[in-house]
Amino acid sequence: YCSHEGDYFPGSSEELGWLGHFAKRSTHLKTIHFLWAGIFEKCSEQSIDRFFEDLGRCHHVKTMRFDDADLTEFVDKLGPVVKNNDITNFFSDGSYLGDSEANALFNTFSDMKSLEDLKISYDNYDVGDDSDNDLDDDIMARCIPSLEACTCMQRLILKDMRMSSKSCAALSAIFPHMAGLQELDLAGNLFDGNCVQSLARGLVECRSLRTLRLSRNRIGDVGLAMLIQGLPTSIVSLDLSYNEIETGWNAFLLFLCDPTSINATHGSNHILRCVGYTANISPDVITMLRLNCGKDKSHVAAMKILQTHRHLDMRPLFDRELDLLPRVVAWLERF
Protein backbone atom coordinates (compact mmCIF):
# COMPACT_ATOMS: atom_id res chain seq x y z
CA TYR A 1 0.00 0.00 0.00
CA CYS A 2 1.02 3.67 -0.39
CA SER A 3 1.04 6.26 2.40
CA HIS A 4 -0.37 9.76 2.01
CA GLU A 5 3.20 10.93 1.31
CA GLY A 6 3.49 8.50 -1.60
CA ASP A 7 5.78 6.02 0.20
CA TYR A 8 5.18 2.36 -0.65
CA PHE A 9 5.00 -0.36 2.01
CA PRO A 10 4.54 -3.98 0.84
CA GLY A 11 1.34 -5.27 2.36
CA SER A 12 2.19 -8.96 2.04
CA SER A 13 4.87 -11.42 0.96
CA GLU A 14 3.10 -11.74 -2.39
CA GLU A 15 3.25 -7.98 -2.99
CA LEU A 16 6.95 -7.96 -2.12
CA GLY A 17 7.49 -10.83 -4.56
CA TRP A 18 5.88 -8.88 -7.40
CA LEU A 19 7.94 -5.83 -6.47
CA GLY A 20 11.14 -7.85 -6.71
CA HIS A 21 10.01 -9.37 -10.01
CA PHE A 22 9.50 -5.98 -11.64
CA ALA A 23 12.71 -4.61 -10.10
CA LYS A 24 14.92 -7.33 -11.56
CA ARG A 25 13.41 -6.78 -15.03
CA SER A 26 13.75 -3.01 -14.91
CA THR A 27 16.38 -1.30 -17.05
CA HIS A 28 15.73 2.12 -15.53
CA LEU A 29 15.89 1.45 -11.78
CA LYS A 30 18.72 3.70 -10.55
CA THR A 31 17.79 4.47 -6.94
CA ILE A 32 16.49 2.36 -4.05
CA HIS A 33 15.18 4.28 -1.02
CA PHE A 34 14.21 2.58 2.25
CA LEU A 35 12.23 4.83 4.61
CA TRP A 36 11.17 4.22 8.22
CA ALA A 37 11.39 1.08 10.34
CA GLY A 38 9.05 -1.85 9.85
CA ILE A 39 9.14 -1.75 6.05
CA PHE A 40 8.85 -5.54 5.77
CA GLU A 41 6.81 -6.28 8.89
CA LYS A 42 4.02 -7.91 6.85
CA CYS A 43 6.39 -10.06 4.81
CA SER A 44 7.94 -13.43 5.52
CA GLU A 45 11.68 -13.86 5.96
CA GLN A 46 11.79 -16.03 2.83
CA SER A 47 10.09 -13.35 0.72
CA ILE A 48 12.51 -10.70 2.00
CA ASP A 49 15.49 -12.87 1.04
CA ARG A 50 14.03 -13.44 -2.41
CA PHE A 51 13.35 -9.70 -2.82
CA PHE A 52 16.98 -8.76 -2.24
CA GLU A 53 18.12 -11.56 -4.54
CA ASP A 54 15.89 -10.09 -7.24
CA LEU A 55 17.36 -6.63 -6.63
CA GLY A 56 20.77 -8.20 -7.13
CA ARG A 57 19.69 -9.25 -10.63
CA CYS A 58 19.04 -5.62 -11.57
CA HIS A 59 22.39 -4.28 -12.74
CA HIS A 60 21.48 -0.59 -13.04
CA VAL A 61 21.22 0.56 -9.40
CA LYS A 62 23.56 3.45 -8.59
CA THR A 63 22.12 4.88 -5.37
CA MET A 64 20.97 3.26 -2.13
CA ARG A 65 19.39 5.37 0.59
CA PHE A 66 18.16 4.52 4.10
CA ASP A 67 16.30 7.13 6.17
CA ASP A 68 15.23 6.40 9.76
CA ALA A 69 15.20 2.69 8.92
CA ASP A 70 15.99 -0.19 11.25
CA LEU A 71 18.90 -1.87 9.50
CA THR A 72 18.65 -4.90 11.79
CA GLU A 73 15.80 -6.01 9.53
CA PHE A 74 17.84 -6.51 6.39
CA VAL A 75 21.44 -5.22 6.53
CA ASP A 76 22.75 -8.79 6.21
CA LYS A 77 20.80 -9.20 2.95
CA LEU A 78 22.43 -6.37 0.99
CA GLY A 79 25.22 -8.52 -0.42
CA PRO A 80 23.60 -9.49 -3.77
CA VAL A 81 22.56 -5.91 -4.50
CA VAL A 82 26.01 -4.52 -3.76
CA LYS A 83 28.03 -7.18 -5.60
CA ASN A 84 25.99 -7.06 -8.81
CA ASN A 85 25.63 -3.28 -9.16
CA ASP A 86 28.14 -0.47 -9.48
CA ILE A 87 26.86 1.50 -6.47
CA THR A 88 28.23 5.04 -6.55
CA ASN A 89 26.11 6.66 -3.80
CA PHE A 90 25.18 5.24 -0.40
CA PHE A 91 23.30 7.24 2.23
CA SER A 92 22.09 6.27 5.70
CA ASP A 93 20.51 9.04 7.76
CA GLY A 94 19.13 8.37 11.23
CA SER A 95 18.98 4.61 10.69
CA TYR A 96 19.76 2.42 13.70
CA LEU A 97 23.20 0.83 13.79
CA GLY A 98 24.45 -1.44 16.53
CA ASP A 99 27.67 -3.46 16.66
CA SER A 100 26.57 -6.31 14.38
CA GLU A 101 24.71 -3.96 11.99
CA ALA A 102 27.71 -1.66 11.64
CA ASN A 103 30.05 -4.58 10.95
CA ALA A 104 27.69 -6.06 8.37
CA LEU A 105 27.14 -2.72 6.67
CA PHE A 106 30.81 -1.75 6.46
CA ASN A 107 31.73 -5.21 5.20
CA THR A 108 29.53 -4.53 2.16
CA PHE A 109 31.59 -1.44 1.36
CA SER A 110 34.59 -3.62 0.54
CA ASP A 111 32.60 -4.76 -2.51
CA MET A 112 31.69 -1.21 -3.59
CA LYS A 113 34.73 -0.46 -5.75
CA SER A 114 32.84 2.34 -7.55
CA LEU A 115 31.55 4.12 -4.43
CA GLU A 116 32.02 7.89 -4.74
CA ASP A 117 29.65 9.35 -2.16
CA LEU A 118 29.12 7.82 1.29
CA LYS A 119 27.06 9.42 4.04
CA ILE A 120 26.27 7.77 7.37
CA SER A 121 24.70 10.10 9.90
CA TYR A 122 23.45 8.74 13.18
CA ASP A 123 21.76 11.89 14.47
CA ASN A 124 18.29 10.63 15.29
CA TYR A 125 18.62 11.29 19.00
CA ASP A 126 17.99 14.48 20.94
CA VAL A 127 20.86 16.94 21.23
CA GLY A 128 22.88 16.03 24.32
CA ASP A 129 21.26 12.60 24.63
CA ASP A 130 22.91 9.74 22.77
CA SER A 131 21.54 7.00 25.03
CA ASP A 132 20.14 5.09 22.04
CA ASN A 133 23.39 5.28 20.10
CA ASP A 134 25.11 1.93 20.52
CA LEU A 135 28.15 2.79 18.41
CA ASP A 136 31.52 3.50 20.01
CA ASP A 137 35.15 4.10 19.08
CA ASP A 138 36.09 0.40 19.16
CA ILE A 139 33.25 -0.58 16.82
CA MET A 140 34.04 2.15 14.31
CA ALA A 141 37.78 1.46 14.42
CA ARG A 142 37.01 -2.12 13.35
CA CYS A 143 34.64 -1.00 10.60
CA ILE A 144 36.58 1.82 8.96
CA PRO A 145 39.36 -0.28 7.32
CA SER A 146 36.71 -1.75 4.97
CA LEU A 147 36.56 1.66 3.26
CA GLU A 148 40.12 1.20 1.99
CA ALA A 149 38.64 -0.56 -1.06
CA CYS A 150 36.63 2.54 -2.00
CA THR A 151 39.38 4.19 -4.01
CA CYS A 152 36.92 6.30 -6.03
CA MET A 153 35.59 8.11 -2.95
CA GLN A 154 34.93 11.82 -3.48
CA ARG A 155 32.69 12.61 -0.50
CA LEU A 156 32.84 10.88 2.90
CA ILE A 157 30.44 11.81 5.72
CA LEU A 158 30.55 9.98 9.07
CA LYS A 159 28.55 12.11 11.51
CA ASP A 160 27.54 11.45 15.13
CA MET A 161 29.24 8.05 15.23
CA ARG A 162 30.95 8.52 18.63
CA MET A 163 34.35 8.12 17.00
CA SER A 164 37.51 9.00 18.91
CA SER A 165 41.25 8.17 18.88
CA LYS A 166 41.14 4.62 17.49
CA SER A 167 38.77 5.65 14.71
CA CYS A 168 41.02 8.58 13.82
CA ALA A 169 43.98 6.25 13.47
CA ALA A 170 41.89 3.99 11.21
CA LEU A 171 40.76 6.95 9.09
CA SER A 172 44.31 8.23 8.79
CA ALA A 173 45.36 4.85 7.41
CA ILE A 174 42.73 4.76 4.63
CA PHE A 175 43.10 8.36 3.38
CA PRO A 176 46.14 7.56 1.18
CA HIS A 177 43.83 5.22 -0.80
CA MET A 178 41.34 8.05 -1.51
CA ALA A 179 43.35 10.34 -3.76
CA GLY A 180 40.21 11.95 -5.18
CA LEU A 181 38.53 12.76 -1.85
CA GLN A 182 37.10 16.29 -2.05
CA GLU A 183 34.75 16.54 0.94
CA LEU A 184 35.14 15.08 4.44
CA ASP A 185 32.52 15.58 7.17
CA LEU A 186 33.26 14.18 10.64
CA ALA A 187 30.95 16.42 12.65
CA GLY A 188 29.42 15.42 15.97
CA ASN A 189 32.07 12.95 17.10
CA LEU A 190 34.45 12.89 20.09
CA PHE A 191 37.65 14.17 18.51
CA ASP A 192 40.10 15.96 20.84
CA GLY A 193 43.67 17.14 20.38
CA ASN A 194 45.18 13.65 20.34
CA CYS A 195 42.64 12.54 17.74
CA VAL A 196 43.38 15.52 15.54
CA GLN A 197 47.10 14.80 15.63
CA SER A 198 46.45 11.32 14.25
CA LEU A 199 43.90 12.59 11.74
CA ALA A 200 46.25 15.30 10.44
CA ARG A 201 48.87 12.70 9.46
CA GLY A 202 46.41 11.17 7.03
CA LEU A 203 44.97 14.45 5.79
CA VAL A 204 48.37 15.39 4.36
CA GLU A 205 47.73 12.73 1.70
CA CYS A 206 44.36 14.22 0.69
CA ARG A 207 45.67 16.65 -1.91
CA SER A 208 42.25 17.10 -3.56
CA LEU A 209 40.36 17.82 -0.34
CA ARG A 210 38.44 21.10 -0.54
CA THR A 211 35.91 20.85 2.31
CA LEU A 212 36.57 19.62 5.85
CA ARG A 213 33.88 19.71 8.56
CA LEU A 214 34.82 19.01 12.17
CA SER A 215 32.07 20.90 13.98
CA ARG A 216 30.63 19.68 17.29
CA ASN A 217 33.75 17.89 18.45
CA ARG A 218 36.14 18.53 21.37
CA ILE A 219 39.01 20.24 19.59
CA GLY A 220 40.83 22.82 21.70
CA ASP A 221 43.62 25.32 21.10
CA VAL A 222 46.40 22.71 21.02
CA GLY A 223 44.38 20.46 18.72
CA LEU A 224 43.73 23.36 16.34
CA ALA A 225 47.46 24.09 16.05
CA MET A 226 48.16 20.45 15.17
CA LEU A 227 45.31 20.36 12.68
CA ILE A 228 46.58 23.42 10.84
CA GLN A 229 50.02 21.82 10.45
CA GLY A 230 48.43 18.91 8.60
CA LEU A 231 45.86 20.76 6.51
CA PRO A 232 46.18 20.14 2.77
CA THR A 233 46.83 23.34 0.82
CA SER A 234 43.76 22.53 -1.30
CA ILE A 235 41.31 23.29 1.58
CA VAL A 236 38.74 25.95 0.66
CA SER A 237 36.16 25.50 3.43
CA LEU A 238 36.79 24.41 7.02
CA ASP A 239 34.08 24.13 9.71
CA LEU A 240 35.24 24.14 13.33
CA SER A 241 32.01 25.46 14.83
CA TYR A 242 31.07 24.43 18.38
CA ASN A 243 34.41 23.05 19.48
CA GLU A 244 36.48 24.08 22.53
CA ILE A 245 38.79 26.56 20.81
CA GLU A 246 39.33 29.75 22.83
CA THR A 247 42.51 31.71 22.08
CA GLY A 248 44.14 29.49 19.45
CA TRP A 249 42.67 31.09 16.34
CA ASN A 250 45.84 33.11 15.66
CA ALA A 251 47.52 29.83 14.66
CA PHE A 252 45.81 30.39 11.30
CA LEU A 253 47.83 33.54 10.64
CA LEU A 254 51.04 31.73 9.70
CA PHE A 255 49.02 29.34 7.54
CA LEU A 256 47.22 32.17 5.73
CA CYS A 257 50.08 34.66 5.56
CA ASP A 258 53.62 33.61 6.47
CA PRO A 259 55.57 36.86 7.01
CA THR A 260 59.06 35.36 7.18
CA SER A 261 59.84 36.29 3.57
CA ILE A 262 58.16 37.43 0.36
CA ASN A 263 58.43 33.91 -1.02
CA ALA A 264 56.89 32.48 2.17
CA THR A 265 54.01 34.97 2.01
CA HIS A 266 53.38 34.08 -1.60
CA GLY A 267 53.47 30.38 -0.74
CA SER A 268 50.86 30.73 2.02
CA ASN A 269 47.29 29.50 1.68
CA HIS A 270 45.24 31.86 -0.54
CA ILE A 271 42.07 29.77 -0.95
CA LEU A 272 40.73 29.03 2.57
CA ARG A 273 37.65 31.24 2.91
CA CYS A 274 35.89 30.16 6.13
CA VAL A 275 36.45 28.25 9.35
CA GLY A 276 32.82 27.97 10.50
CA TYR A 277 30.82 29.97 13.03
CA THR A 278 33.13 31.36 15.70
CA ALA A 279 32.46 34.14 18.18
CA ASN A 280 36.03 34.81 19.32
CA ILE A 281 38.11 34.64 16.14
CA SER A 282 40.71 37.41 15.83
CA PRO A 283 40.20 40.33 13.40
CA ASP A 284 43.55 39.57 11.71
CA VAL A 285 42.40 36.07 10.78
CA ILE A 286 39.09 37.44 9.51
CA THR A 287 41.00 39.93 7.33
CA MET A 288 43.07 37.15 5.76
CA LEU A 289 39.99 34.96 5.15
CA ARG A 290 38.23 37.85 3.44
CA LEU A 291 41.27 38.49 1.27
CA ASN A 292 41.20 34.84 0.23
CA CYS A 293 37.69 35.31 -1.17
CA GLY A 294 39.19 37.14 -4.14
CA LYS A 295 39.01 35.14 -7.36
CA ASP A 296 42.38 36.34 -8.71
CA LYS A 297 44.80 34.48 -6.45
CA SER A 298 47.80 36.33 -7.87
CA HIS A 299 46.15 39.56 -6.74
CA VAL A 300 45.43 38.03 -3.31
CA ALA A 301 49.09 37.05 -2.94
CA ALA A 302 50.21 40.51 -4.05
CA MET A 303 47.92 42.19 -1.51
CA LYS A 304 49.29 40.05 1.30
CA ILE A 305 52.87 40.79 0.27
CA LEU A 306 52.25 44.54 0.20
CA GLN A 307 50.40 44.50 3.52
CA THR A 308 52.91 42.27 5.30
CA HIS A 309 56.22 43.53 3.93
CA ARG A 310 55.81 47.24 4.51
CA HIS A 311 59.50 47.86 3.92
CA LEU A 312 58.67 47.76 0.20
CA ASP A 313 58.79 51.46 -0.71
CA MET A 314 55.85 52.25 -3.01
CA ARG A 315 56.48 56.00 -3.25
CA PRO A 316 58.33 55.79 -6.61
CA LEU A 317 55.18 54.32 -8.11
CA PHE A 318 53.19 57.39 -7.17
CA ASP A 319 55.98 59.70 -8.34
CA ARG A 320 55.69 58.10 -11.78
CA GLU A 321 51.86 58.25 -11.65
CA LEU A 322 51.67 54.47 -11.35
CA ASP A 323 53.33 53.92 -14.74
CA LEU A 324 55.40 51.18 -13.16
CA LEU A 325 52.49 49.40 -11.45
CA PRO A 326 51.96 46.84 -14.24
CA ARG A 327 55.63 45.90 -14.01
CA VAL A 328 55.40 45.50 -10.24
CA VAL A 329 52.31 43.30 -10.56
CA ALA A 330 54.07 41.21 -13.19
CA TRP A 331 57.03 40.88 -10.84
CA LEU A 332 54.81 39.77 -7.97
CA GLU A 333 53.11 37.19 -10.17
CA ARG A 334 56.46 35.51 -10.71
CA PHE A 335 56.42 34.17 -7.15
* Terminal Cα distance for the chain, rounded: 66
When pLDDT is cut at 50, 70 and 90, the band that residue 329 belongs to is low
- Looking at residue 158, the DSSP 8-state letter turns out to be E
pLDDT > 60? residue 30 = yes
Cα Dmax for the chain: 89
Q: What residues have CB less than 8 Å from 127, skipping those under 6 apart?
A: none
pLDDT for residue 18:
93
For the beta carbon of residue 309, count every other beta carbon within 10 angstroms: 12
Cα distances (angstroms) measured from residue 107 to each of 3, 67, 110, 148, 186:
33, 20, 6, 11, 20
When pLDDT is cut at 50, 70 and 90, the band that residue 333 belongs to is low
Give the tens place of pLDDT for each residue, 288-313. Answer: 999 999 999 988 988 888 888 877 65
Give the tens place of pLDDT for each residue, 93-148. Answer: 998 888 999 999 999 999 899 999 999 998 644 444 455 678 999 999 999 999 99
When pLDDT is cut at 50, 70 and 90, the band that residue 83 belongs to is confident
Average pLDDT over residues 234-246: 94
Average per-residue pLDDT for the chain: 87
